[in-house]
Structure 1
Amino acid sequence: MATREPNEGLASLHRETGWTLRQLAQWVNRVGTERGTPTKYQQPSVHQWLNGHMPKESTRPLILEALSRKLERPVTHTEAGFPAPAFNAEDCSVVEELIDLGRQDVERRHFLGASLFSIVLTIPDWPDVMGRMEAVQAGVKPRIGMSEVELVTQMTDRLSETYDDLGGRHTRPMAAAFLVNTVAPYLRSDGPTEIRKAMMSAAAFLCYLTGWMAVDEGAQGTAQKYYVKGLELAGASGDHMAYCHILRGISVQAVDLGHGSMAVRLADAASATSPQTGPRVRAFMTGQQAHSFAVAGDRSEALRCIREAERSMNQAESTSQTFGGYDPATLAYHESQVRYALGDVKGSVDSLKSHFRLRDPDDTRRSALRFSSMLAERQLELGLLDVACQTWRQVLDEYPSVRSGKVDRHVASIPRLLQPHRTNAAAREIYERSLLSIRRY
């Protein structure tokens, strides 16, 4: 007969509480009584749980609630060594998965290849997630109001600003901690239906932002998980536009990794299901479609979409306003990417120069360094060595102030690109500076 393995997760949590076996049993019974399902557990039952005997499925949420109250933080099935619950109308599995993801993601630093996008097969369609709301568990739960929703929205804005300025290496752990410690408890709290929907919509955008930060660091699998959680929360809140926005974000990830056909599929789905059709939204969607088609090698569709994006941007009432950060400067970036993917290196350089002429002075340092790095690499492709070195010199001047994985990877490529040109004084200077600047983790 096989010997049960002790439940180390539950044992660790029990030690953290400082409770005796009897106290844990008492608290589980108390929670059960509050929920209308009284239990009469005693010390021997807790001893069995710690030694690996799995509590009844109906008892596990009572144990988690008791531990959460004592430790003053969410405790999930996974953390307690219990099987993760399947989603149904009576549990909070999406929130639990989000908590586990937030706690674990900063430990993940692996890069996945084309097989990464097999997760797209599990992305729920809008009709499948629309209106899906998780039931609030019975018991003592704080109520949330619009002030809590505004807190999450404002914090997401602040995190976005910090990320844009400094990159994701420092900002993503803050976002993950905020998700786990503040947003997840809000998602489990009671409140009017409309407030709970607004909270889930705000949480969806925070998941999207945290996923975007993970992409910046090269944590592609983690990013995908955040994106899928964002899609589920957008569906639960009935926020169709957030759903399409996140779907487009996954397309951006796919196209940047060179998976053109998958990027097209995702960009097309986002555009086709978008509930808004104004010119600014069309530019936002078709610009991404154009880039995706170009990487997929479909020249005619890429050019058709980029022309449609240009027309839509021209039709927008004010070019100073944006949707999803999409403005004439971003459109010029997409034009550059389309031209480069279709083999027009000189045209891509011209479009990148247009991007910088159109940029707002307050635009982010992170994107400026990333796009300047692209510009230098393409200038070198054209044989403009001195011009490329001057562009790289500006990048290296600003680089120490930004912690961005994408920018790190561009800087790390400089020595390889300039290796054949070290007899040139300017190239040798940049080559040596870049070697000293490369960050190693």
Structure 2
Amino acid sequence: MNSPNDQLAYWLGRSALSRKELARRVQSKAQEWGQPNIAPNATRVRRWLEGEKPRVPVPDVLAGVFSEHFGWRITTYDLGLGEGSSTEAALRYDPSFAATVEVVADLGRADVNRRKFLAAAPFAAVAGVGPSRDWLLATLDQDPEPGPRVHIEDVLAVKNMFATFQKMDVLQGGGSGRLVLAEYMNHHVYPLLRRSHDEAVRRALCEAAAEQTYLLGWMAYDNGEHSLAQRYLIQSLRLAEESQNAPLGAHVLAGMADQATLLGNPTEGRRLAQAGRQGLSRVDSPACLADLWCLEARALALLDDKVAATRAVVQSERAYARADSGAGPDWAEFIDPAYLHGEHANSMRDMGDAKAAEEHANRSIEHAAKQNRARRGAMSHAALAVSHLQRGDLDGAYSAGLRTLKLSGQVKSSRAVEAVQDLQRRMEPFGNDRLVADFNERARELVAA
């Protein structure tokens, strides 16, 4: 037996519409949306109130009816009808700025409320292709909704918060603090996007919102929540386009490339990294360019194109040599030797070049230790351990592996845990050696958690 839908009843009562009038408006709205076969009556509305779930796309039509009636956004979730189409909407690169604001706000609220659709929604393997193309080609003509004017001081306050949350991610892992950031975005940032601004403030606000939406996606990615991460990153890319900040958009594409490659699609990872580089053709952002070449190298290594991968690593190092430390935007702060050498170590590992992997891993470890970056240190120690295994040095791998475990335990990062699991798999050929058994025993608690 269905439970009464108290949320739908609340909004119907607040609207003062009769069941018959609501049915008439749903039919009218459905016709506007090209759905002439949707024609409910008062009896059907009563059944919805009693808990019957209307078929798709009726929940979205109902949300449209109530939004139009009240003059502000009412979602299917507000009406007790689930998420409607918001899961898929977050994968789209909408040309409408107003629609983008609503999608990213819905996504942030769903994230905070931990609703099941986010956990169940799959990572869409090629969803980044369209957004990366549109970011390069689209022109924009949408304005935010009117309201109290936003001033540059409001934007500066948002940008100041970014550095705080980014350091939390870098030092503690993506699983630490993301929901706090999502709450902050939902209550303080996304509402600003709906208000009026002059052009300079609007662009600065979209830039700040894009930075923090990217960070939400990156933190979800680091915590292993890939479907959520993908949706945040796509919406961040759209906001970055609105800001007209090409390096920021390229930075978002770098994150999308990293995720695609990690999840077993290096071909798309390479495409996304290339799109980011193309977007930098008219501006100079050495750190971002170094990152994009670095991630292209990662993808090429997995595609077994060793010559191109090695060339990409060299291009990454050349680009970073031109970077002016401390002069770039906050989001570029941690595109640095600790990060780049760590990723180069992974590329060399995947190409089977144990000596080069060890060299890059050690350089990354040195820089990460100076900054107390446990996550980066853990991942680079794991790469170092693998380089030892590739040379048959189990003792060296065991020592580096123990340091990986110690550092991984200091952060909330699924990527660090996955590095431990990868190391366990690579130790399997050594059979029941006591060092393997001891490492697996020590890793058990971390992996189980």
- TM over 0.5: same fold? yes
Matched AA of 1:387: G
- 1:267-288 C-alpha deviation (Å, 9 max, x unpaired): 1111011142354444333222
Partner Cα separation in structure 1 for residue 157 and residue 47 of structure 2: 39
- Partner residue in 1 for 2:32: none
> Residues of 2 paired with 1:343 and 1:111: CA distance?
35
Shift in alpha-carbon separation, 1:417–1:287, aligned structure 2, 3 A? closer
Query: CA, structure 1 residues 79+391, in 2 after alignment: closer, same or farther (shift >3 Å)?
Result: same
User: Structure 2: which amino acid aligns with 1:382?
Assistant: R
Does structure 1 residue 370 correspond to structure 2 residue 379? yes
Q: Is the contact made by 2:369 and 2:377 (CA closer than 8 Å) also made in structure 1?
A: no
Please say if residues 49 and 55 of structure 1, whose CA atoms lie closer than 8 Å, have aligned partners that are also in contact.
no
- The CA deviation at 1:292 is 2.5
1:183 corresponds to: 189
Could you give the per-residue CA deviations for residues 213-261 of structure 1, whole angstroms, max 9, x where no partner exists?
1211222221111111011111222222211111122111122223222
- Aligned: 1:12 with 2:12: no
Q: 1:405 aligned to 401, 407, 414, which one?
A: 414
Per the alignment, residue 206 of structure 1 pairs with 212
Superposed, which structure 2 residues align to 1:316-395 within 5 Å? Answer: 316=323, 323=332, 325-359=334-368, 361-395=370-404
Check if 1:76 corresponds to 2:108: no
Give the C-alpha shift of residue 404 in structure 1: 0.8
Conservation of the 8 A alpha-carbon contact between 1:144 and 1:195: yes
Structure 1's unaligned 5+ residue stretches are 27-43, 66-73
AA matched with 2:237: L
Seen in structure 2, the aligned counterparts of structure 1 residues 228 and 348 have a Cα distance that, compared at 3 Å, is same
Counterpart amino acid of residue 231 in structure 1: L
**Equivalent position of 2:155 in the other structure:** 149
Q: 1:250 to 1:281 in 2, by over 3 A?
A: closer
Cα distance change of structure 1 residues 327 and 420 upon mapping to structure 2, 3 Å threshold:
closer
* 1:265 equivalenced with 2:267 (yes/no): no
Instruction: State the shift of 1:212 in Å.
Output: 0.9
- Mapped partners of 1:56, 1:353: distance in 2: 56
Tell me the amino acid that sits aligned with residue 172 of structure 2. L
Stretch of structure 1 that moved more, 292-301 or 205-214 = 292-301
Q: TM-score, normalised by structure 1?
A: 0.77
Aligned counterparts, 1:31-46, within 5 A: none
Q: Deviations over 1:379-409 (max 9, x none)?
A: 2332222222222222333333311111122
Contact kept in structure 2, 1:84 and 1:93, CA below 8 Å: no
Q: Within the alignment, does 1:312 sit opposite 2:319 as a pair?
A: yes
Measured in 1, the distance between the counterparts of 2:62 and 2:434 equals 71
Return closer, same or farther for 1:408/1:289 CA change in 2, 3 Å cut-off: closer
Cα distance between partner residues in 2 of 1:265 and 1:7: 49
Task: Give 2:177's match in structure 1, choosing from 168, 171, 186.
Answer: 171
Cα RMSD, aligned residues only: 3.6
How far apart are residue 375 of structure 1 and its match?
Answer: 2.2
* Equivalent residue, structure 2, for 1:283: 290
Identity score, percent: 23
CA separation in 1, counterparts of 2:227 and 2:148? 34
> What amino acid does structure 1 have at the position aligned with 2:373?
T
- State the match for 1:39 in structure 2: none
Letter of the structure 1 residue corresponding to residue 370 of structure 2: P
Between the aligned partners of 2:128 and 2:289, the Cα distance in structure 1 is 26
Change in Cα spacing, 1:134 to 1:219, as seen in structure 2 (3 Å) is farther
SS in 2 for 1:201: helix
- Quick one: structure 1 residues 88 and 359, their matched pair in 2 at CA, closer, same or farther if it must change by over 3 Å? closer
Aligned counterpart, 2:33: none
Aligned residues: 398
- Which digits, 9 at most, give the CA deviation of each residue in 1:97-156, with x for residues without a partner? 11221232344346957x52244235452355444444314xxx3332122212221222
Q: Does 1:255 align with 2:255?
A: no
Distance in 2 separating the partners of 1:127 and 1:25: 47
Structure-2 separation of matches of 1:83 and 1:416? 41
Q: Give the structure 2 partner of residue 237 of structure 1.
A: 243
Structure 2: 5+ residue stretches without partners: 18-41
**Contact map agreement 2:214 2:233 (CA 8 A) in 1:** yes
What is aligned with 1:121? 130
- Mapped to 1, the partners of 2:170 and 2:384 lie a distance apart of 19
| CA drift at 1:422 | 7.4
1:236 partner SS: helix
Contact between 1:78 and 1:100, CA under 8 Å: does it hold in 2? no
Task: Measure the CA separation in 1 of the matches of 2:334 and 2:276.
Answer: 16
When residues 302 and 412 of structure 1 are mapped into structure 2, their CA distance, relative to the original with a 3 A threshold, is: closer
The 8 Å contact of residues 418 and 431 in structure 1, kept in 2 or not, is answered as no
Residue number in structure 2 paired with 1:162: 168
* Bigger Cα displacement from structure 2, 325-334 vs 207-216: 325-334
Which one-letter code corresponds to 2:260 in the other structure?
A
Deviations 1:289-315 (A, max 9, x none): 222222222222222222222233334
Looking at structure 1, the residues matched to 85 and 319 of structure 2 have their Cα atoms a distance apart, in angstroms, of 46
Q: Distance in 1 between matches of 2:192 and 2:47?
A: 29
What TM-score does the superposition give when structure 2 sets the normalisation length? 0.76
Contact 2:326 2:333 in 1 (8 A): no
CA 1:289/1:78 → structure 2, altered by over 3 Å: closer, same or farther? same
